[in-house]
Structure 1
Amino acid sequence: MAALVLDHTTLDTRTPAPFSTLLFGAATVVATWEIRARSRAALKELTDAQLYDVGLTAGAAMREAAKPFWRA
């Protein structure tokens, strides 16, 4: 019976992601952050009637607007 020999080259089957994939991922994150920042800034400008139309209270809108752009 043959013995099974494992070494570091046998165990590591991961290949690094291509640079373009990493760049696309970073661009996606930055775009998401920009959308959040703009949306939260727009919330600050809405009137109580507009907030009511979209189903938000003034308090909920201000809490959302106060979040940093990186926080979901």
Structure 2
Amino acid sequence: MKHPALVQAFGEHLRRLRKARGLSQQALADEAELSWPTVQRVEAGTQVASLDVLASLALALHLPLKELLDFDEEAGT
């Protein structure tokens, strides 16, 4: 992984968005048609989300993709 702090910061951002909507990781995974471990690993910052996964998450959270990617890159440092 070339940018672990960025991946970690995105995971924290995703967790905040999910919790703000009152969703569990499993509920988000179901809505996004992803596996629960994928959501868990992305939130934990141990998996880099592909564009396909990001698009699925954005749709599930009812957000434009660019809004999903609008987060403080320094938060994970």
TM-score range, shorter chain: 0.3 to 0.5
Q: TM-score, normalised by structure 2?
A: 0.31
Q: Which protein shows a greater Rg?
A: 1
Q: Normalising by the residue count of structure 1, what TM-score does the alignment of the two structures yield?
A: 0.33
Which protein, 1 or 2, shows the higher relative CO under an 8 Å CA cutoff with sep ≥ 6? Answer: 2
